[in-house]
Amino acid sequence: MRIKAFNLKATLLATLIITTAFCLGGCELAYLFAGNGSHAALYKLPNKNRILVLIDTSANSQLSIHAMATLMTLVNQTLYKHKCADRFVPAYRIVALQRRNPEQYHSMGIADIAHAVNANDVIYVYVKRFDITLESAGQLTKGSADAMVKVVDENGKRLWPKTGSPGASITARIPTSTAVSQSPQTVEADMVAILGRRISRIFYRYAVGYQPKSE
């Protein structure tokens, strides 16, 4: 009876492994059995279109214009590096448009801005919260940011996500540390880097799990 029970378990295990192999791709199998794998792109940008990364903020966000431009440039460079698209609207075009007439800029919709800079598609990033907190009489710092990302065309038509969500949620958290080792400027730069990396990864396949140092 024990032998039969063992054989039954072995058969069920073999069936499970074979079924898993058919259901998962090579990268996913590597992750399952060895801790390696990859995440597929959630949305693929049209390669020949001119892409605008547009950063918008809530009234209470502490994201500075400099940090906003840095975030736009970082996403542009990362997406170009991973061959997601060939043409991007440079960050200085948006900053110049905003500074030329701030009141008019804030009254413009996504489609208005896209037309003003000749963009075909827009990666719209709404930074709901970007907080740099000083605690203990300025001796400690920490950071927290929350953003929402969606893709629309030049006329404001939603391209991604199609339905069910206003956009993909992106977060960045910088743990509390001493202000000596972690200045407010460092917190801002680190949060921009985290947001830039996580926003960009929506649009290309990236590795997860352990990766050999040679890679």
pLDDT digits (tens, 9 = 90+) for 182-207: 899 999 999 999 999 999 999 999 99
Residue entry with tokens 């905003």: 98
pLDDT at 59: 87
Helix 65-81, helix 184-200: angle, nearest 10? 40
CB atoms within 10 A of CB 142: 16
pLDDT at 196: 98
Query: Which ranges in 88-183 belong to alpha helices (H)?
Result: 91-100, 102-107, 110-116
Contact 150, 162 (CB under 8 A): no
CATH for 50-208, options being 1.10.1060.10, 3.40.190.10, 3.40.50.10610, 3.20.20.60 = 3.40.50.10610
The mean pLDDT of 133-150, rounded to a whole number, is 91
The mean pLDDT of 125-149, rounded to a whole number, is 93
Using only C-alpha atoms, what is the Rg of the chain?
22
Phi, psi of 11 (to 5 degrees): -65, -45
Digit-coded pLDDT (tens) for 60-76: 899 998 999 999 999 99
**CA–centroid distance for 176 within its chain:** 23
